[in-house]
Chains A and B, each alone.
Chain A
Amino acid sequence: MSTWLAIAGVGAVTFLLRASFIAFADPHRFPGWFRQALAFVPPAVLAAIVAPGLVMRDGAFDLSWRNPRLIAGLLAILVAARTRSVLATIVSGMAALWLLQWAMG
């Protein structure tokens, strides 16, 4: 039951955020600090999602070069910066990860 409540609640939250300005709000009525904070949401949230996925390994920190996810991730950052292509980033990152995992046994 509580799972269905969570599903409905998450659906409502995501829909209301999407519709906030497009369907309901007047952009000019939001305070300046709020709009300024919104500008930093994409870099902050995306970095907070990505970082643990690169340095956490089996529930522990691994900042060494022997962590294949870290190395593959750093390579993917370079590819993303150069190509701006989602496809190239995923293909190069996964290829690097599989190669490193295979090489490190």
Chain B
Amino acid sequence: MPSPREEFLAGSREIAPALVGTMPFGLVTGVASIAAGMSPVEGIALSVLAFSGIAQLVTSQLIALHSPLPLVLVATLVVSLRLVMYSATLSPHLAHLNQRWRLLLSYLMTDQSFASTVRRYAEADERAHKHYHFLGSSLTLWVSWQLSVIAGVVAGAGVPEGWSLDFVVVLTFLALLVPVIRNGADVAAAIVAAVVAMLAAGLPYRLSLIAGSLAGIVAGIALDASRRSSR
């Protein structure tokens, strides 16, 4: 059975290739917080507390637009709902751990570490120390994320606009989007969400994101339901 140390290092190694995507993303996120008018300390505090690129970017954009606090919270809630699904998926594997472990791993969970942890738990070997694999991948991502956000905060708007580094953010989400589309209902959810988000692009406070997400979720459920009733 692999020791805790071996599990930790294996998790850390497994997440390493993803850092090529997350570190420029962190840099862009740090730059975005400064561009939104936050102080460096505020940008770093947001990154430590939220530890989520999407949540940090949406918060930055809405603060820049002087959105009211409830709207900031609702928007973050909607774009972060996927974390609930991850939490539900991992909870049976972590139920044997004490509350301190579960709170720590909850705080550290991200799209990338979720994916690698699910893969590790799917392997049929002895599971006693698999949570160290989770800890290894998550902590490696945490440290590199915070460092790259700090670099972005320090660089401020110093990154030349001609590099189009903001496109890295779009590509990162694109790379996460493609694998979660597994059936026709997923395709419908994604297409409806994309079209509504584009049509609603003129709405204030980036409400297009909420409108598109909700429309996509409803479309997915509707297609699922109609397929089930026609059977």
List residues of chain A with CB under 8 Å of any chain B CB.
Answer: 2-11, 13-15, 17-23, 25, 27, 30, 33, 35-56, 61, 69, 72-73, 76-77, 80-81, 84-87, 89-91, 93-94, 97-98, 101
**Which of B120-128, B141-149, B185-193 participates in binding chain A?**
B185-193
Known contacts A19-B106, A23-B102; A48 and B83 CB within 8 A of each other: no
Complex CA gap A48/B52 in Å reads 17
In which size bucket is the chain B interface? 35 or more
Which of A20, A21, A35, A85 gathers most chain B CB within 10 Å? A21
State in angstroms the CA–CA spacing of A44 and B213 once bound together: 5
Q: Which of A10, A21, A91 has the largest number of chain B CB atoms within 10 A?
A: A10
Contacts of B76 in A (CB 8 A): 9-10, 13-14
Is there contact, CB below 8 Å, between A51 and B217? no
**Cα–Cα distance between A49 and B94 once the two chains are bound (Å):** 31
B170 contact set on A, CB distance < 8 A: 49-50, 53-54, 69, 73, 93
Contact count A vs B, C-beta below 8 Å: 272
Q: Which of B15-72 contact A (CB under 8 A)?
A: 17-18, 20-21, 24, 38, 42, 45-46, 49-52, 54-56, 59, 62-63, 69, 72
- The interface residues of chain A lying within 8 Å CB-to-CB of B195 are 51
Q: Given A47-B189, A51-B194: A10 and B213 within 8 A (CB)?
A: no
Question: Which residues of chain A have C-beta atoms less than 8 A from B185's C-beta?
Answer: 40
Q: Are B90 and A53 in contact (CB under 8 A)?
A: no
Which single residue of chain A is at the shortest CB-CB distance from B81?
A41
